[in-house]
Amino acid sequence: MTHWIQRGCLKDELAEQNDLSVGDGLVVSLAYRLRLDDGEQIDSADGDDPLVYLHGAQNIIPGLEQALTGMKVGDARSVTVSPGNAYGETDPDAFEFVPYDAFPGDLELEVGMGLRMVESGTGRQMEAYISELRDDGALLDLNHPLAGETLHFDVEVVGLRRATSEELAHGHAHSHGHTH
């Protein structure tokens, strides 16, 4: 008897998943491939290890989230997201010159290297990338590395489920072993 109940529950879960379409308050499992204008693939997730996120909670870029709304499990499409709906345009004022003596002495700096910095006064953490090495210091780019880029996604929704009340309260999807 238990076997049939379990099988029936799984059948009900699958039926509910097939009735759902991507919308706010749902946990979406997404297989995707991300390319830049030049065709270079810079990120991906397959159906066996998808990106899992809470839709409507600003867990992914707005242009992609908007394009996914209404899709169902098994739906696939190509989506192009402009910089304004992704990581923004490159801000020419988001560069900062830092003298070499501000870096740890044993750190070997390279153009393109990512750094985590702490803003003095606020303690806010920021990501920066070395844009240029000069005679007296490094020019850091505080823009997101994909700022100014048009992003091209090939996406497939591989799973949908209703978010738990805890996930909704926390604003993100939870996986097994998730802790705060």
Per-residue confidence (pLDDT) for residue 39, from 0 to 100 = 96
Tell me the residue type at 175: S
Q: Token digits for 150? A: 């048009």
Distance of CA 139 to the CA centre of its chain: 26
pLDDT at position 6, please?
A: 44
pLDDT tens-digit map of 79-89: 999 999 999 99
What pLDDT score does 16 carry? 57
Question: Does the 2-87+147-170 domain belong in CATH 3.10.50.40?
Answer: yes
- State the average pLDDT for the chain: 89
Backbone angles phi, psi at 170, to 5 degrees: -85, -20
Q: 111 — phi, psi (to 5°)?
A: -60, 135
The CATH number of 95-141 is which of 3.40.1280.10, 1.10.10.10, 2.40.10.330, 2.60.40.10?
2.40.10.330
User: What's the Cα-to-Cα distance from 52 to each of 59, 94, 149, rounded to whole Å?
Assistant: 10, 31, 23
Contact 157, 53 (CB under 8 A): no
